[in-house]
Chain A
Amino acid sequence: MESKVKMHTRDLDFFYGDFQALYNISIKFIENQVTALIGPSGCGKSTYLRCLNRMNDLIPGIWVKGEAMLDQKDIYDPSIDVVTLRRRVGMVFQKPNPFPKSIFENIAYGLKVNGVKDRGKITQRVEKSLKQAAIWDEVKDRLNESALSLSGGQQQRLCIARALAVEPDVLLMDEPASALDPIATQKIEELIKTLSSRLTIIIVTHNMQQAARVSDRTAFFYMGKLIEINDTDTLFTKPGLKQTEDYITGRFG
């Protein structure tokens, strides 16, 4: 198999002050695969996701122990520029959060902050990102309108386009469809599948059907620990542990 490990953590511990939120998490994320993180609320899956682009750094009093690597480079190494890391590891959030700017400006923002000045290049990249996020046809005639005039589902696809504009290698998605209706959710799921041909995607979801539909591999978290990780099909049909089985069959959580 030509599966290359894009990102991995080994024995990752995470603390909010005295409270340990993650214990010994070791996961390998294969390039151009979708990995789903599932588990009940408060199990640490979002915290873990936010370790991977160091979004947790924004919270005072946190610390991380263990190894977290992107392309075999330690992302917590002091020599790593966290700004560059976040450009390479993009993120889509639970609630659509477009800026109160025009649709065009929302996408162009990431390019501008990363130093792209050429107007033609920006225009071209905006169009490409919107196409990749499957929203171009809906917005191409209204690029100068406020992004907040879009519907929730459109806003979320816009946020995905915005994340794609800076051409990340990895895309983290934190329950990207939980605030959306079923039709918008379906569009996001289709998009995830298409994007996974050229992106490594890690998605946190509460929705087990969603995990089963979109992911290649699934990791089950419980109480800050990684309980089980396997190919999605295997995990959902033949879970190795009773705890996993109880969760995916809805007996708890």
Chain B
Amino acid sequence: MKKHRLWAQKVFFLSFKTAACLNGAALLLILYFMVSRGWRAISWDFLTQSPKDSMTAGGILPCIVGTTSLCLMTLMVALPIGVCSAVYLNEYARQGTLVRIIRLGINNLAGVPSIVFGLFGLAFFCIVLKMGVSIAAGGLTLGIMTLPVIIGASEEALKAVPNTYREASFAMGATKWQTIKKVVLPAAFPGIITGSILGLSRAAGETAPIMYTGAVFFTPDLPGSILDEVMALPYHIYVLATAGTNIEATRHLQYGTALVLILLVFGMNLAAIILRSKMRKKLRI
């Protein structure tokens, strides 16, 4: 009996540990795969030139610029709306039917498949609002998709602000808005920014929402306004790998583009972590 219990404990702890280690292994494997196959494609020209010869040569600058502008647009859409929603839900709203419905909506928004966002964006932003295939339409679509992530992160950050800060502020005759603006939001800011950047990095890699709304097969021009169409890294990978003019010959370009996308996303996550620790330091000591 005793022996059996000890064994059971060992077996289960080992399986938990294995499960946890698999995460790290998966990441390392993906990284190894991408780096080993893609690094040869990466050069200064690859990063700074447009695709040439029917996209079988040249660089991916329009894709990098496109994905970056889509991300900025997404941030401009989702950050204000997301933070305001979170402030409403966490600071103002009385917990009642309206709040329950809003939360239900947010949770379901998070569960909508990304291709559905793409179709919605096409139907609503591109056609009804006449934005066409553009940074604006793509960014709005990605923005709506990212909203639940930003709201979730912001709410967590707001919840983590100790209630004693709010009480102290009220006790000095501050209004609720003054308290939120000067005490609650500054204290929650690092968490909000980190969560938002993480959500954004997810959006940066999405293909389905932008393939009808923001990204195009090929355009050598860099965007001049938010109503221009762009190339985007994830869509470019998809195009090269499935619909390119010479799929086999562009393998290295596909891996190179994927590597750039991964590095971009890693870069954003790293920036989020550094930003957070910097702001925390500034707040504490």
Is the CB–CB distance between A58 and B173 below 8 Å? no
Q: A97-B164, A148-B285 are in contact. Are A109 and B171 (CB under 8 A)?
A: no
Q: Report B-chain residues with C-beta under 8 Å of the C-beta of A159.
A: 168
Which one of A7-15, A81-89, A203-211, A240-248 is at the interface? A81-89
Q: A100-B284, A148-B285 are in contact. Are A110 and B164 (CB under 8 A)?
A: no
B129-164 contacts to A, CB under 8 A, are 162, 164
Q: Does B175 contact A (CB under 8 A)?
A: yes
Is the CB–CB distance between A113 and B172 below 8 Å? yes
Is the CB–CB distance between A90 and B165 below 8 Å? no
Is the CB–CB distance between A113 and B167 below 8 Å? no
How many angstroms between the C-alpha atoms of A165 and B165 in the bound complex? 17
Q: Report A-chain residues with C-beta under 8 Å of the C-beta of B94.
A: 60
How many angstroms between the C-alpha atoms of A88 and B173 in the bound complex? 8
Q: Report B-chain residues with C-beta under 8 Å of the C-beta of A58.
A: 166-167, 170
Is the CB–CB distance between B174 and A93 below 8 Å? no
Is the CB–CB distance between B175 and A83 below 8 Å? yes
B257-285 contacts to A, CB under 8 A, are 283-285
Is the CB–CB distance between A83 and B174 below 8 Å? yes
Q: Does B250 contact A (CB under 8 A)?
A: no
By beta carbon, the residue of chain B nearest A106 is B168
Is the CB–CB distance between A163 and B172 below 8 Å? yes
Q: Does A188 contact B (CB under 8 A)?
A: no
Contact with B284, one of A88, A90, A148, A163 (Cβ below 8 angstroms): A148
Q: Report B-chain residues with C-beta under 8 Å of the C-beta of A149.
A: 284-285
Contact with A113, one of B169, B283, B284 (Cβ below 8 angstroms): B169
Is the CB–CB distance between A86 and B172 below 8 Å? yes
B179-222 contacts to A, CB under 8 A, are 182-183, 186-187
How many angstroms between the C-alpha atoms of A166 and B168 in the bound complex? 13
By beta carbon, the residue of chain A nearest B170 is A86
Q: Report A-chain residues with C-beta under 8 Å of the C-beta of B284.
A: 100, 146, 148-149
Closest approach, in angstroms, between the C-beta of A59 and any C-beta of chain B? 11
How many angstroms between the C-alpha atoms of A101 and B94 in the bound complex? 29
Q: Does B178 contact A (CB under 8 A)?
A: yes
Please indicate which of the listed interface residues B168, B170, B183, B283 has the most CB atoms of chain A within 10 Å of its own CB: B168
How many angstroms between the C-alpha atoms of A159 and B170 in the bound complex? 13
Is the CB–CB distance between A97 and B162 below 8 Å? yes
Is the CB–CB distance between A113 and B165 below 8 Å? no
Closest approach, in angstroms, between the C-beta of A174 and any C-beta of chain B? 10
Contact with A166, one of B95, B173, B182 (Cβ below 8 angstroms): B173
Q: Does A55 contact B (CB under 8 A)?
A: yes
Q: A109-B182, A146-B284, A149-B285 are in contact. Are A97 and B168 (CB under 8 A)?
A: yes
How many angstroms between the C-alpha atoms of A90 and B94 in the bound complex? 26
How many angstroms between the C-alpha atoms of A124 and B158 in the bound complex? 33
A141-158 contacts to B, CB under 8 A, are 145-146, 148-149
A227-246 contacts to B, CB under 8 A, are none
By beta carbon, the residue of chain B nearest A96 is B164
How many angstroms between the C-alpha atoms of A83 and B284 in the bound complex? 29
Q: Report B-chain residues with C-beta under 8 Å of the C-beta of A88.
A: 173
Q: Report B-chain residues with C-beta under 8 Å of the C-beta of A86.
A: 170-173
Q: Report B-chain residues with C-beta under 8 Å of the C-beta of A32.
A: none
Q: Report A-chain residues with C-beta under 8 Å of the C-beta of B167.
A: 55, 58, 91, 93, 97
Contact with B164, one of A60, A95, A109 (Cβ below 8 angstroms): A95
Is the CB–CB distance between B165 and A99 below 8 Å? yes
By beta carbon, the residue of chain A nearest B174 is A113
Q: Report A-chain residues with C-beta under 8 Å of the C-beta of B182.
A: 109, 112-113
Ordered by A's residue number, 7 sampled pairs between the chains whose C-beta atoms are within 8 Å are A86-B171, A87-B173, A93-B164, A93-B168, A97-B164, A97-B168, A162-B172
Q: CB within 8 Å of B: which residues of A?
A: 53, 55, 58, 60, 83-88, 90-91, 93, 95, 97-101, 109-110, 112-114, 145-146, 148-149, 159, 162-163, 165-166
- Sample of 7 more A-B contacts, CB < 8 Å, known A55-B171, A166-B173: A90-B171, A93-B167, A97-B164, A113-B182, A145-B285, A146-B283, A148-B284
Q: CB within 8 Å of A: which residues of B?
A: 94-95, 162, 164-175, 178, 182-183, 186-187, 283-285
Q: 9 closest A-B pairs (Cβ-Cβ)?
A: A87-B173, A110-B172, A97-B164, A91-B171, A113-B174, A100-B283, A86-B173, A113-B178, A97-B168
